[in-house]
Amino acid sequence: MKNQKLPILLTVFNLIFLLFIAARPNQENFEKIVVKEFELVDKAGIKRASLKTESDGSVIMRLIDKTGTIRVKLGADENGSGLVLLNSDTEVGLHALAKKEGTKLVLVDKNGKKREY
């Protein structure tokens, strides 16, 4: 169940964030915003998230902790998609891949033991 806490927390955070944005009546509304890269920074100006298209055509979203370390990576390209969740030592805790050839899920426990599905 511990492995599910982060994805659930991120989903709840994203929903609250979207509701916060939608509830702000004083803001200007846009039908479409076009950018090549989106960066979210904290109050100190430190990058905390990015969403961009890589040179190979893949789309990558990265969530970054306050030290600048990537903790979550979500990617997609014409071959499928993937999700990586990293622990405090930046070791993979969860790695999920969904491709035409099949889906792969790797879970790593606190002792480093891998379970692959």
pLDDT in tens, 29-40: 788 888 889 999
Q: Is residue 1 over pLDDT 60?
A: no
**Cα separations in angstroms, 82 against 3, 23, 46, 47, 70:** 16, 31, 25, 22, 15
pTM attached to this predicted model: 0.70
Segment 73-103, tens digit of pLDDT: 999 999 999 999 999 889 999 999 999 999 9
Domains in the chain, CATH or no CATH each:
51-117 (3.90.930.1)
For residue 32, the model assigns a pLDDT of 86
- Please report the sign of the dihedral spanned by the C-alpha atoms of residue 92, residue 96, residue 97, residue 101: positive
Segment 2-28, tens digit of pLDDT: 566 667 777 777 777 777 666 666 667
Residue with tokens 């889906």: 103
